[in-house]
Structure 1
Amino acid sequence: MGARGPGQGHTLRHRSCVHWVNAPGRWLADQRAAGTTLVAVDWRRAPLADLSAARGRTVVLLGHEQHGVPPEALRLVHQVVEIPMVGTRLSLTVAVAGSLVAHRLAGLL
């Protein structure tokens, strides 16, 4: 909490939401059909700088560190971006990757 009170000082205007689903492919297809923009982060794709700020509901898919986003999910997304890195490391933690993408989608990065 702190001097400003709960909920103040947040960068994003809307609450985020995490969904646990039994059939992720069907859920993603339903989201796409409903007009939601689907963005995935995967290797050797367009750089994160090519991602525009979100203009509506957007779902971000962050893949497994070693296997990436499953191919069946990649077929459903509108855009796939990668986070360029310098050096020999091949991955970021999902928290860091998600934060970078969220900031980009919010128009802050």
Structure 2
Amino acid sequence: MTGAGLPESRRIIDLVDVLDEGAVVASGHEAPSLHERASAVEPRKIHDLTDVVKDVPVRAVADPALREMVLQNVSEITERLAREMIPPIVERVIREEIEKLKAVDNP
């Protein structure tokens, strides 16, 4: 959005719009160059927070009964998916291997 049709002082500038170096912004002041902005920033102190945060192990499921129920459901679902998906895949692979063997025997 460039604000076409608006007076220069009321022009709307999106945050995604890139201003050229030395461009004049809506207030009428020249935009500072990248070098000026970088030199104006004073060096900042970097804080190391690794000593501040304690390494506490977090348990995903606190209740052992709930954990057991979740594991049982996951096991049942995994077994059902394996029983549904693996046989057709194995059948297809076996058929392809048989066809390859037939092609080798009959040149």
- Structure-2-length-normalised TM-score: 0.14
Higher helix share: 2
- The structure with higher relative contact order (CA 8 Å, sep 6+) is 1
Asked which structure has the greater CA Rg, the reply is 2
- Structure-1-length-normalised TM-score: 0.14
